[in-house]
Amino acid sequence: MTQPDYAALAEAAIAARERSYAPYSHFHVGAAVLTAAGNIFLGGNIENAAYPMTICAERVAIFSAYAAGEREIVALAVVTPTDDAASPCGACRQVILELAPRSIIILLNLSGARRRVTPQDLLPFGFGPAQLGR
Ligand code: THU
């Protein structure tokens, strides 16, 4: 596969913020997943009055890709409305390690900050399929 178009994926993540449902935090996060098949799946965070039921944008996008039958995630872009590019929560790090272990993750904000990391950067020494002999 040729080099993924990270800039386009970042733009898709920014567009995905429109799909965020965040009436409690007003913190709108967008995520976009690129699969090996070349498809892009979007996600925004979806909150709930019962706060812990909230799901992050990253997981919405990743689960959308898996729900569509995709299994190889090449890249994931996440945009937060923060001063610097924020990094995913612990739950999302665990999900990324499981479902997008070979991906490149682009973290960005709305004013040009951008950082590229790997799942292993985000969750070093993590518990994954290997511990279960998979
Ligand atoms: N959130 C995400 O969607 N992704 C992150 O990486 C960090 C946090 C959401 C969860 C909640 O809806 C809001 O941001 C505030 O924590």
Domain range for 17: 6-122
- Whether residue 129 is contained in a domain is answered as no
Residue 83 belongs to domain with CATH number: 3.40.140.10
The single residue of 58, 70, 72, 98 carrying the catalytic annotation is 58
Judge whether 75 and 61 are in contact, CB under 8 Å. no
54 pocket-lining for ligand 1 (C-beta < 6 Å): yes
- Whether residue 13 is contained in a domain is answered as yes
Judge whether 32 and 76 are in contact, CB under 8 Å. yes
- Whether residue 127 is contained in a domain is answered as no
Residue 1 has a pLDDT of 55
pLDDT digits (tens, 9 = 90+) for 17-26: 999 999 999 9
55 pocket-lining for ligand 1 (C-beta < 6 Å): no
- Whether residue 1 is contained in a domain is answered as no
- Whether residue 35 is contained in a domain is answered as yes
User: Cα–Cα distance between 119 and 54 in angstroms, integer?
Assistant: 22
Q: Say how many domains are in the chain.
A: 1
Is the pLDDT reported for residue 3 higher than 90? no
Is the pLDDT reported for residue 96 higher than 70? yes
pLDDT band at 106 (very low <50, low <70, confident <90, very high): very high
Mapped onto helix, strand or coil, the DSSP state of residue 59 is helix
Sign of CA dihedral 91, 85, 101, 75: positive
- Whether residue 128 is contained in a domain is answered as no
HSE-up of 12 (CA within 13 Å, CB side)? 20
User: Cα–Cα distance between 70 and 40 in angstroms, integer?
Assistant: 10
- Whether residue 47 is contained in a domain is answered as yes
- Whether residue 51 is contained in a domain is answered as yes
Which atom of ligand 1 lies closest to the CA of 78?
6
